[in-house]
Amino acid sequence: MNNSIAPLFAPLQVRHKTLRNRIVLPPMVVNRGLATPAACEWYGRRAQGGVSLVIVEATNSILFGEELTGSNLRPLVEAIHDGGALAAIQVFPFRRGQSTAPADLSPEDISRLLAQYRLAADICAAAGFDGIQPHGAHGYLLNQFFSPVRNQRTDGYGGDLSGRMRLAIEIVETIRPIADRAGMLVLYRHTPLRDDFGYGIPDSLILAEALVTAGVDILDLSPSSGGAPGDRAAPFTRLGVPVIAVNGLDRVPRALEVLEHGRADLVAVGRGLIADPDWPIKVREGRQDEIVVCVSCDECHADLRRGVAVGCAEWRN
C-alpha cells in the first residue's frame, strides 16, 4: 500500500469495536427493502468492497416490531459481517415522507416516539447490529426540533436551546442502556449549519456536547463541507468522540485532506460506492484509475424518487 493513502486505511478503535479503516458507507435509501435477499446482496457487496462500517438506510421507526424483527434482519447483518464490515442502522422518526412538524406532536406522540426508538434498539440488538443511529439531519423531524425557526412549541420541547435539544437527548438516553447491554455503538447524524433553520455551528456544538454526554459514540456531520472538505465537521473533533465527514469525498484527494488535516476521523463515501462498490479496494491497491467514477448525473436520486431500486448510469449503460 502506498504511504500517501495510508491515512484512509488506519484502523480505528471505538469503545470495544475496531473499524478496519476510515471509510464508511453512509445511510442511503436504495429501495431494496431490508429483510430481503436484494438488500443483503446490496449491502453485503459494499462491505466486500472494503468499507469499515456500513450504515443501513434511514428506516422508519414504526416498522420495528411489525415488518422488521431481530430474526428477519439478522441475514442483513450477517451479509455485512461476512464482507468484513461493521453494521449500523439509521432509525428515522415515524415514517419517511410523512409531513410532521414539531408542533404536530402531542406529549403522547413524543412518548410513543421514544418507545419506538426503544423497541428499535431492542430489535437491532437482537439482529446483531454493531450500531444504531437516530437521524437528526437534513431538515427532517429531529432537525426541525432543533431549529428555532421550525420549532414553535411552548412546552419543554421548544423555546430555548435546552428545550430544542431535549428530544434528541432523550432518544439517545433511551437507547444507550440497550446499546450497552448489546455491545452496540450509538451514532447520531446532524446537519451542523442551516441558515434557513436559524442555527449555526456554535449551537450545534452545544447539542453535540450534550449528545456525547448522553452516550453518543460517533458524531456523523452531514453535509460537512463548506469552503474546504470536512471544514464544518472539524470543530466537533474536540468533543472526544470520532467524527464522520461526508460530502464529495469519493475524490481521494478530498478524503485524504479531511484526515490529514484532522477535520474528521472517518470519511463517508456515498454515491461513489453506488457507482463502484470496490472503491476502497481499488484505492488501497493503487488502482484509482480503475474506479468507476460518479459523474453526478443524479440517476440514482431519480431512481429513489421513482421508488425503484437505486442504480447507477455508469454501470447500467
Q: What is the pLDDT of residue 317?
A: 58
Peptide bond connecting 11 to the previous residue in cis, omega within 30 degrees of 0:
no
CATH number, domain at 280?
3.20.20.70
The residue range of the domain holding 266 is 3-316
Give the active site residues: 140
The residue among 276 and 1 whose pLDDT is bigger is: 276
Summarised one tens digit per residue, pLDDT across range 2-16 is 779 999 999 999 999
Q: What is the pLDDT of residue 3?
A: 75
Cβ burial 231-259 (10 Å sphere, 16+ → b, else e)? bbbbbbbebebbbbbbbbbbbbebbbbbb
Summarised one tens digit per residue, pLDDT across range 18-47 is 999 999 999 999 999 999 999 999 999 999
Q: How confident is the model at residue 69 (pLDDT cuts 50, 70, 90)?
A: very high
Phi/psi at 184 (5° precision)? -95, 150
Sign of CA dihedral 301, 304, 306, 310: positive
Tell which phi-psi region holds residue 28, choosing left (phi > 0), alpha (psi between -120 and 50) or beta.
beta
Query: What is the rounded CA–CA span in Å between residue 94 and residue 254?
Result: 35
Query: What is the rounded CA–CA span in Å between residue 178 and residue 182?
Result: 6
Query: What is the rounded CA–CA span in Å between residue 216 and residue 88?
Result: 13
Summarised one tens digit per residue, pLDDT across range 130-162 is 999 999 999 999 999 999 999 999 999 999 999
- Supply the pTM of this predicted model: 0.97
> What average pLDDT does the segment 286-311 reach?
90
Which residue, 196, 270, 194, is CA-closest to 232? 194
Evaluate whether 49 touches 25 at the Cβ level (below 8 Å): no
Q: How confident is the model at residue 313 (pLDDT cuts 50, 70, 90)?
A: confident
* 3-state SS, residue 135: strand
The number of residues in the chain equals 317
Summarised one tens digit per residue, pLDDT across range 208-243 is 999 999 999 999 999 999 999 999 999 999 999 999
Q: How confident is the model at residue 1 (pLDDT cuts 50, 70, 90)?
A: low
> What average pLDDT does the segment 269-292 reach?
96
Counting the structural domains of the chain, the total is 1
